[in-house]
Structure 1
Amino acid sequence: MTRIASLCTLVATLVLSGPALAQGGMPVMVPAKAPADQQAIPLYGKANPGSLSSEVWSRAGGKDYTVRNVTYPTLTPVLPAKGKANGAAVVVAPGGAFMLLAMDHEGWKVAHALAARGITAFVLKYRLTPTPRDEKEAAPFMGAKLAQEIGHPMSGELLGKSEAPADGAAAIAYVRSHAASYGIDPKRIGMIGFSAGAMTARRVALDAPVAARPDFLGYIYGPQDAENVPADAPPMFDAIALDDALFPSKGFPIAQSWMAAKRPVEIHGYQQGNHGFGLGVPGTTTTHVLDQFIAWLDMQGFLAKGPNARKDSK
């Protein structure tokens, strides 16, 4: 298998967790109509850029929705059942190498799992690097682009030229400014991201203006490279599989950076799970990732006003 073909297969792992694969390990990408999303909020209101007509929707393995060529960013609320909300909120950023979004696998499924635990969730559909509309052309294009990023994903072109961090910051700012209407505590609004979504959330947490920074960060299979972490960085939950093929293990330099800044951080390095495990690969301990994230949020005082409540929470 050539390097580009191998990287194309890695792109597939960003959006799959079990659906059918075609010969050679590539996903069966079934063209699909955009799902009805009556609740989607234009991220920038009347000034929202782009158009929904640019989007290319597919179902990976004929199952999970993915989207490419996003130019019109949106935020979709997923609310807890009546009487179940605990006042915390999380913006969910799916991954996909900044060239597609795994909307089911790392977006809506995650949001519904959070809402089931009383957390008001918002799925972010952020702007992406353009790709060819034809699926047969798109896969090698994405593989070639991804090949340029290997080894330096946090400083590469895909992230450096991406509008994703700006959209992530806008999402946090939107949720915080509308906290009262959703019954949310404006000091308990976090962000969880997967792969490219994790990289997006990391940039929002460290670079965005204070009003647009999350109060906590879920960093799920993002690259572990170190960087300077400010003294006011939000607490971070860091999870990755040690057999991750896209981001081979470097240890946990990013968590060490958080520790050096004397900021709260928790690390989960799963023995197996590879890249793109989402809410977990059956038969591995990655299936505990959401429960562990929730337990960590509770320990940090973000979920309730009881004994673990944060002192600065309302």
Structure 2
Amino acid sequence: MPGMGRAQTSIPLYEVVPNAIPRQDIVEKWDTTATGRVLVRYVQQPSITAYLPPPENANGTAVLICPGGGYSYLVMNQEGSEVAAAFVKAGVAAFVLKYRLPNAKIMNDISIGPLQDAQRALQLIRERAGEWHINPNRVGVAGFSAGGHLAATLSTHFNRPQIENPSRTSLRPDFSILVYPVISFGDSLSHKGSRRALLGSDTANQAAVRLYTNELQVSKDTPPAFLLHSSDDRVVPVGNSIAYYQHLMQEGVKAAMHIYTSGGHGYGLRNKSNKDDWFQRCLNWMEANKWL
């Protein structure tokens, strides 16, 4: 594929996966839907796939990409590899995260499994930054839908490490890109499927609900954010992005938000309801903030 840079490499996140219950009878499953979405389920060996621009084009910035799928599957092409290709074309190293999905059969605490993998991926990118020609102070995260919830969790829970971190590597992304993200687990805004998957039930205790209602976890140290949503999103209400933006503003954190009139949910790079190129808007925002 043009602009993909060097050959992609899949890198396991761990030698021994934390919080895991090994199950040989549960096998990772990949499917392609009739609409061309490539889905993966039952991840037990989380990894990142590195998409690296040629060294002469690299600008030192990297993005960890978290595909969505309601914490039930991962959309690995439209919200993963295709986004990575677009970043590589702009000289940005991209890493697509294949993270574990909450499943009590394969992990002891389902609520921390995805966050563990995101934190470990960010840690790994920073610790191998020299090898990949990356500035460790310019590593961001991008997330789509439930992957946006994971990206927002990574952005607001970085002082709550869920992995071993002997080198005290920063687990805070330098910026976040949140595309039609699940943000809130509150009743009025929640994507109930994501909440049910991550917390295990519709009646999870209120402390857990609040902990993962990420607009309530925003602080002055939350990284700057680029938010994208559509007003007619019937899967994840646009109020999720608005709530996060408002809390960022209250804390004095820089943010940009773009809300389309239409487009629905799950469109990846291409909102077919209009001719606007949201990804170019994102790159413009990154350049204005000196990440490009």
User: TM-score normalised to the size of structure 1?
Assistant: 0.71
Establish whether residue 47 from structure 1 lines up as the match of residue 16 from structure 2: yes
Q: 5+ residue gaps in structure 1? A: 1-36, 133-158, 304-314
The 3-state SS of whatever aligns with 2:119 is: helix
The answer for the alignment partner of 1:249 in structure 2 is 238
Residue equivalent to 1:121: 94
Map 1:1-314; keep pairs closer than 5 Å: 39-44=9-14, 46-48=15-17, 54-61=27-34, 63-130=36-103, 161-209=111-159, 211-223=170-182, 225=184, 226-250=215-239, 252-285=242-275, 287-303=276-292
Q: Partners of 1:259 and 1:124 in 2: how far apart?
A: 29
Q: Residues of 1 paired with 2:139 and 2:8: CA distance?
A: 23
Return the letter of the residue paired with 1:205.
S
CA contact (8 A) 2:157 2:217 kept: no
Distance 2:229 2:32 in 1: 25
Q: Do 1:92 and 1:123's aligned partners in 2 also have CA atoms closer than 8 Å?
A: yes
Contact 2:156/2:217, CA 8 A, preserved across alignment: no
Q: Quickly say closer, same or farther: Cα 1:206–1:260, change in 2 above 3 A.
A: same
Task: List runs of 5+ in structure 2 lacking aligned partners.
Answer: 1-6, 160-168, 185-214
Q: Deviation digits for residues 236-292 of structure 1, max 9, x if unmatched? A: 11111111011223371210100000010101101111111110222425x512111
Structure with more helix by fraction? 1
Contact 1:51–1:72 (CA<8 Å) still a contact in 2? no
The residue type equivalent to 2:177 in the other structure is G
Give the structure with higher Rg (CA).
1
What code does the residue aligned with 1:222 have? Answer: P
TM-score for the superposition, normalised by structure 2:
0.76
Q: Aligned equivalents of 2:8 and 2:256: distance in 1?
A: 37
Aligned residue type for 2:223 = P
Query: How many residue pairs end up in the alignment?
Result: 239
Task: Using the aligned pairs only, state the percent identity.
Answer: 32
